[in-house]
Amino acid sequence: MIRKTAFVNKIRELGYRHKSQQARTHMYRKDGGTHCIFVRDKNLLSEDFVKGALGQAGMADKQIRAFIATAKT
Looking at residue 55, what is its pLDDT?
Answer: 93
The residue ranges of every structural domain in the chain are 2-71
Q: How confident is the model at residue 8 (pLDDT cuts 50, 70, 90)?
A: very high
Query: Does pLDDT of 73 surpass 90?
Result: no
Dist. CA 17–CA 2, nearest whole Å: 19
**12-63 tens-digit pLDDT:** 999 999 999 999 999 999 988 889 999 998 899 999 999 999 999 999 999 9
pTM equals 0.89
Q: Rg for the chain (alpha carbons), in Å?
A: 11
- Domain 2-71 belongs to what architecture? 2-Layer Sandwich (3.30)
CA dihedral (36, 38, 43, 49) in degrees, to 10, reads -90
pLDDT of residue 72: 85
